[in-house]
Structure 1
Amino acid sequence: MKIPQRGLHQVMKLSVLDLVPVRTGQNSAQALAASVRLAQRADALGYTRYWVAEHHNMPSVASTNPAVIIALLASRTTNIRVGSGGVMLPNHAPLVVAEQFALLEAAAPGRIDLGIGRAPGSDPVVTAVLNQSGATSDVNRFPNNVSDIIALLGPDGAAVQLTSGKEYPLRSTPAAAGTPEVWLLGSSDYSAGLAASFGLPYVFANHFSGQGAERALEIYRSGFEPSAYADKPRTFMTANAVVAATADEAYALALPNLQHMARLRTNKPLGMLATVEDAEREQTDALTEEFIQQAVSRYILGDPASAARQAKRLAEQHGVDELMISPVAGSFDADPLDQTPARERTLELLAAELDLTA
């Protein structure tokens, strides 16, 4: 397989994915305040995008409603693109998604990304509760719902065919001056193939899966059909990242997230994200340690020079000019509850090493 080569003079773009983590002792208001501050730091440092995820009923994640958080972040930043990574479409009616993002685009023209995912982002109980509201959509209609959203976001809207044979005009907003940029997200062959057939930009969720990226990107690039949205494949990938003054410090800061992900993967009870001190005291079993050692090899982790080399190597390996990092550094007991200094430091050190302002 031939991997597209990055241009010799191209500057790597960096973006941010945020789950709005909630650590021990924090409340949702403080976690959200910390993410606002992080987004402002990313904006000042020259990061390209700042996306927020959608997860439900998780003690350690406050990012439950991307559209609401995007509105807040767009109002508190100046240049950075703000978007969803992603809106989990089975949880929403396509018209509602289109209306939300049409208004966001109107409020922050040229700065809104609509990243769409096919997974529910929740457990079966939460999915059942969402289904009771009648506002969700059938996952099997995902391709149709994506098409509907794209049509509804256009200036001319969409036409609904009535049983009488007449067409009923439907718009997401009365007079759109622009449209958000639509991306398909995923970690499977299916999402890559669908993005290619639609001619949409595609993001591989490497921070979550860590496997199958090469195959998914090949499917996307080889099957891409030019469209009104993109004349050639546009893609990037995500990666968890912790950068500190030394490799040992970076590992200590990553440990709360690594332990948390191990609990998730091994179906153990989840709580709030541990502090660095709590993670150091945690007694872990062999299965957890095995997962941590496997997972840490996929992180961008270390001192600034090492982390920059890892980021460049990942980008070159997969032929992308942009990486979206999820800064997963933990917090110390003494850190202010409305700030995440180590996550901010990760963004600062990596941006300085890769010279985003060049």
Structure 2
Amino acid sequence: MPSPVLSVLDLVPVRSDQTSADAVAASIELARTADRLGFRRYWVAEHHNMPAVAATNPPVLVGLLAGRTSRIRVGSGGVMLPNHAPLVVAEQFALLEAAFPGRIDLGIGRAPGTDPVTSWALRHGAGGVSDEAVNRFPEYVDNVLAMMEPDGVGLALRGRTHVLKATPSAGSVPQIWLLGSSDYSARLAAEKGMPYVFAHHFSGSGTAEALDLYRSTFRPSPELEAPRTFLTVNAAVADSVDEAERLALPQLLQMVALRTGQPLTAQRLVEDAEKDVADGLPESHQSLIDAMRRRWVIGDADGALAEIERLAASYDVDEVMVHPVAGAVAGTDPGSAPARVRTLELLGS
């Protein structure tokens, strides 16, 4: 199997030595690196009210990053549709596609991407991400797709049909993907003939089953004749295996905190993470780290590339989206993330 095409997923992490402005500046540098090295696409996530994640608003970030790059596709990985009115999402991404034609991806997810209180606030107190919004997810997906088409969609209201368009004169539409970490979106994407991505970088289990379900039940559509998917994976790559292991530690501890219900903080610097480990971790936490470590790509360039090729072959994909998780050492310029940049350089050279 030929080497897979590489792409990038970015949560815009915020370290303990950074402001939000610093984190955004570091992500702009990372996107420009991916663009220069020939990566296919660069996606940003949607998470809210998290001390270590500045990716709260994908369309704003997509516009910033697309405007600072020249070739790479830029998109959302993803917009959590139950948080938003479908028309607003359609308008945002139709306008981005108009500004950067042929370079915009819209990845759509069903999860809230936040805690219940923030979900409530996102909808101005109107029930948060209600069961209705989740249950109507397939309808909302259809609405987003139709509103971005040049002819728009007919809205029946008070006995009349009104034409509703995301933008007055669309010349093209973004590439639209369904995202998920369970089999729900796999079934829906197959039914609608849409591209689909399973969140392997986050879940780490059930990937093969979800992809098999998607492929085996796929129905061709006018937009897509055959199943289309790729793999996402966490990666920390450095000039040596030991250095990569060291740089991965802050994100490993961050994920342990998330999965065990500990208070979340800004991402630790490498030295602080090492001190936490030296002070001793509960056995259950170390077991979590070991399990995650086995699913991540951590190593030098040769080892990491070999592992990415193995994963691509194992899951039968021709594209792998890496989430660069390498942390920073004390004294790093706050507006940069050199270890994340180095991960892309070593993979893309």
**Partner of 2:327 in structure 1?**
330
Cα distance in 1 for residues equivalent to 2:18 and 2:237: 23
User: TM-score, normalization: structure 2?
Assistant: 0.97
**Partner of 1:4 in structure 2?**
none
For 1:74-223, what aligned pairs fall within 5 Å after superposition?
Answer: 74-132=66-124, 134=126, 138-164=133-159, 166-223=160-217
Cα distance in 2 for residues equivalent to 1:11 and 1:349: 15
Residues 324-357 of structure 1: CA distance to partner in whole angstroms, max 9, x if unpaired?
00000000111100000000000000112xxxxx
Q: Which amino acid aligns with 1:129?
A: A
For 1:28-39, what aligned pairs fall within 5 Å after superposition?
Answer: 28-39=20-31
Matched, 1:245 2:260: no
Cα distance in 1 for residues equivalent to 2:121 and 2:73: 32
Cα distance in 2 for residues equivalent to 1:229 and 1:21: 34
SS of the residue 1:237 aligns to:
strand
Q: Which amino acid aligns with 2:35?
A: D
Q: Which of residues 228, 231, 248 in structure 1 aligns to 2:222?
A: 228
**Partner of 1:64 in structure 2?**
56
Instruction: Name whichever of 203-212 and 134-143 sits farther off.
Output: 134-143
Residues 198-248 of structure 1: CA distance to partner in whole angstroms, max 9, x if unpaired?
100001100000000110001100110111221100000200000011111
Please state how far the C-alpha of 1:11 moved relative to its aligned partner. 4.3
Cα distance in 2 for residues equivalent to 1:287 and 1:57: 26
Identical pairs, percent: 56
Q: Which amino acid aligns with 1:310?
A: E
Q: Which runs of 4+ in 1 moved over 4 A?
A: 133-137
Cα distance in 2 for residues equivalent to 1:11 and 1:314: 11
Q: Give structure 1 stretches of 5+ with no counterpart.
A: 1-7, 353-358
Please state how far the C-alpha of 1:131 moved relative to its aligned partner. 2.8
Cα distance in 2 for residues equivalent to 1:322 and 1:133: 40
Q: Which of residues 337, 340, 347 in structure 1 aligns to 2:337?
A: 340
Cα distance in 2 for residues equivalent to 1:194 and 1:334: 47
Cα distance in 2 for residues equivalent to 1:268 and 1:54: 21
User: TM-score, normalization: structure 1?
Assistant: 0.94
Cα distance in 2 for residues equivalent to 1:279 and 1:13: 32
Q: Give structure 2 stretches of 5+ with no counterpart.
A: none
**Partner of 1:264 in structure 2?**
258
Residues 58-81 of structure 1: CA distance to partner in whole angstroms, max 9, x if unpaired?
000000000000000000000000
Q: Which of residues 238, 248, 268 in structure 2 aligns to 1:254?
A: 248
Cα distance in 1 for residues equivalent to 2:169 and 2:3: 37
- Are the counterparts in 1 of residues 231 and 320 from structure 2 also a CA contact under 8 Å? yes
Q: Which amino acid aligns with 1:308?
A: L
Residues 123-180 of structure 1: CA distance to partner in whole angstroms, max 9, x if unpaired?
111112223355967111000000000000101000001231x210000000001000
Residues 2-60 of structure 1: CA distance to partner in whole angstroms, max 9, x if unpaired?
xxxxxx4x441100000000001210000000000000000000000000000000000
Please state how far the C-alpha of 1:275 moved relative to its aligned partner. 0.5
Cα distance in 2 for residues equivalent to 1:189 and 1:204: 9
Matched, 1:350 2:347: yes
Cα distance in 2 for residues equivalent to 1:221 and 1:161: 35
Cα distance in 1 for residues equivalent to 2:224 and 2:272: 47
Aligned pairs, number: 343
- Are the counterparts in 1 of residues 40 and 73 from structure 2 also a CA contact under 8 Å? yes
